[in-house]
Structure 1
């Protein structure tokens, strides 16, 4: 099941996207038409916080539409609405795992840069934008804007000191993130946060796929193209630290909460890894495709 946030002339809503990815079902309105008894908020972050009951009620609603053959009456063409990021304003910074593919660690330095322990940094909530929204070039600040296609995990329930074998029980679903990075700012400030947190540098979406749809998050093809040219082509099976380990480590001494977002790291093929480097320019279009989820597309613009 694919959950989206979208808006039209009437406001902002949660939707369920059909398997073909062409139409969206307004969840709250349809749930009320079905006679649902529980309150479902119009915000996906709040809905995720309801726990498993939200997914159960959403499934009932979707099944009711199918059983009563109401698809043509209730579904809206996806092209007629504006998609928002699934969680337009995260409650916390986005957690990001650094150098989680050995080949990416090598392209950024050498084999000595392959980490023994999980590296984590964060991006500010104000970086988040939606599928098809524009990434600002920030040319007054950086000459080295780079892309990083990543699978992202969305936490579904509160947890602390989570055991690795229990970690996936705490997941709500999965989405795609482009960890856009100003490499020169990253080098200048000797840390990641500023170079990772310029406005619009965390495209996210186009939706969240519920975990029941993804059998194994550690075995998904991931590909990034820039203007149609393949730059990154890998599989999450190449993670150094699998999703379960990342969740477990983050939760040691720190509480994870519903709606927390974890970007799991990027494969080799980032712009900085080429010789000479191939950074982004205004007009470039980046598409990141993750198996079982879909494609996140954004364009770089001057303003």
Structure 2
């Protein structure tokens, strides 16, 4: 399933993308109230197979009688998206995880996954304006990345079983203020500015992604292709990443792992050719089977 979050004035509703439109689960349950059907994306993630099964069964019933539920079906262009994971517990990032990206930045291929973190202040949604904090940075860069969303408590899992602990996948733009990132040896400052991790548009359940390490991934800025690669170029594959992280910390449902970006970022250009993101720019991150995440950049209101 393709799950999404519909942002309302009074909160958020769980949505499911269908061929006939976006199904608002909260509104659909007003038409035909079914027990144990989750109404928020975190309920689905944290509820495990039971919650996902109840939701799937209800969606099948709606699909078979879509006319009955027409008042709960909306066009995508008529909804406001929320982040497809609204309350991630941990936001773990993997640095320099694409071979060609490491080459373009003149960095050695890592012997072990490079871990750093972001915080929940960075979470934003598909279609949301991203403020550029020009008071503190002039070098904001885009990074197209695949996100792993954890679905089970995970500790000391072996690589062979690691993907069994994944709930699903989504797109992220791992925005990076390069001047702040490179100011010290720790990257956190340049990665953790407000709304620097837009997620979405959909959270796609793992059963729809046969191999997360064989997906095309790309980024456009104002329609110009900047990144075009495949997740097969990862240094450490998704199962390796989940296994490695779980050897050192417990992963919980709703934790997300940003798996690195391919070549084509602004930082990879020669200095004289670097054009950083500016107000008015529109960036789209697209990953095969996961949809397109688009955000516009605006001046920060101080």
1:196 corresponding residue in structure 2: 191
1:67 corresponding residue in structure 2: 64
Scaled by the length of structure 1, what TM-score is found? 0.93
1:253 corresponding residue in structure 2: 248
Moved over 6 A (4+): none
Shift, 1:212, TM fit: 1.0
1:91 corresponding residue in structure 2: 89
Pair 18,114 (structure 1): closer, same or farther in 2 beyond 3 Å: same
1:282 corresponding residue in structure 2: 279
Shift, 1:132, TM fit: 1.0
Pair 142,9 (structure 1): closer, same or farther in 2 beyond 3 Å: closer
What is the aligned counterpart of 1:56 among 50, 53, 56? 53
CA RMSD of aligned residues (A): 1.6
Shift, 1:29, TM fit: 4.0
Asked if 1:133 is matched to 2:148, the reply is no
Secondary structure class of the residue paired with 1:129: strand
1:180 corresponding residue in structure 2: 175
2:17 corresponding residue in structure 1: 17
Shift, 1:39, TM fit: 5.3
Secondary structure class of the residue paired with 1:49: helix
1:89 touches 1:126 (CA, 8 Å); kept in 2?
no
What is the aligned counterpart of 2:265 among 240, 245, 270? 270
Scaled by the length of structure 2, what TM-score is found? 0.94
1:155 touches 1:260 (CA, 8 Å); kept in 2?
yes
* Cα distance in 2 for residues equivalent to 1:262 and 1:116: 19
* Cα distance in 1 for residues equivalent to 2:9 and 2:37: 23
Structure 1 unmatched runs, 5+: none
* Cα distance in 2 for residues equivalent to 1:160 and 1:78: 38
* Cα distance in 1 for residues equivalent to 2:164 and 2:211: 13
CA offsets 1:180-223 (integer angstroms, 9 cap, x no match) = 00111111122111110000111111110111111110000001
Structure 2 unmatched runs, 5+: none
Q: How many residues align?
A: 297
What is the aligned counterpart of 1:146 among 128, 138, 141? 141
